[in-house]
Amino acid sequence: MKNIRLLVMIEAAFFAAFAMILDFLPSIKLSPAISISFAMVPIFILAFRRGMLAGILAGFLWGLLQVMLGDAYYLTPLQFFIEYFIAFASVGFAGLLSSIIQKSFEKGYKKTALAWVVAATFVGSIARYFWHFLAGVIFWGESAPEGTSPLVYSFIANGTTFVGAFVFCAIVLAVILASAPRLVQAETLMTKKQVKKAS
């Protein structure tokens, strides 16, 4: 069990680093407040592969790397914590559907598996951008154009980013996993026989 936990932690660090590398690539910039990329893809793959908790850990580590190496924007400690730790970690909620994705691939139901991949990508994406939306309403109201409420401005900016990132990531994941489903197939728990032998 310790070896499995260590392996999961190593994978989380690796996929977080991979996400950070993808984040350095040019993104689709629609405005200063709207930027669309597929950097969440590695976090999604780990969440499908190892489950929600591993995905949350990888997302948290990615947020930490953003603070250390990326373009982190700081207004208040609470805003900082919400947007770079809670929001990034929330991508891991895609792992809620990891079991059904893995089982569908194992049984050869590729179309069903890919449909669940898209659904899980939606879950992880909306979980992340909910927090960015909330932070936008509370902390970034001054950035809204004159006459536009912070609620509407944050909804448009983060809603557009959410939809773009979700669609972009869903397409990339569908292409990758259609040809390499083994990426999300990993042993997460020891069987009863293995546990007895280990004990």
Residue 91 lies in a domain: yes
d(CA 163, CA 105): 26
User: pLDDT value at position 173?
Assistant: 98
**Cβ contacts of 80-86, under 8 Å, gap ≥ 24:** 82/131, 82/134, 82/135, 83/131, 83/132, 83/135, 85/60, 86/131
pLDDT digits 0-9 by tens, 33-50 = 577 889 999 999 999 999
Question: Token pair for residue 27?
Answer: 């993104």
Q: Which residue bears the tokens 């930490």?
A: 64
| Cα distance between residue 152 and residue 169, in whole Å | 25
- Does pLDDT of 110 surpass 70? yes
User: Is residue 81, in this structure, part of any structural domain at all?
Assistant: yes
Query: What pLDDT, on the 0 to 100 scale, is given for residue 31?
Result: 63
Where residue 97 sits, what CATH number does that domain have?
Answer: 1.10.1760.20
Average pLDDT over residues 71-94: 94
- 196 falls within a domain: no
pLDDT for the residue numbered 143: 81
For residue 194, being part of any structural domain is answered with no
Give me the number of domains the chain comprises. 1
- Domain assignment present for 43: yes
Give the helix ranges, DSSP H, for 95-109: 98-106
Within-domain flag for 199: no
The residues, any chain, with a CB within 8 Å of residue 172's CB and separated by 6 or more, are: 38, 41
107-117 mean pLDDT: 97
Residue 198, domain member (yes or no): no
| 197 within a domain of the structure (yes/no) | no
Whether the per-residue pLDDT at 194 is higher than 60: the answer is no
The whole domain housing 27 covers 2-189
User: Could you tell me how many residues make up the chain?
Assistant: 199
Mean of pLDDT values over 97-115: 97
pLDDT tens digits for 28-37?
777 665 778 8
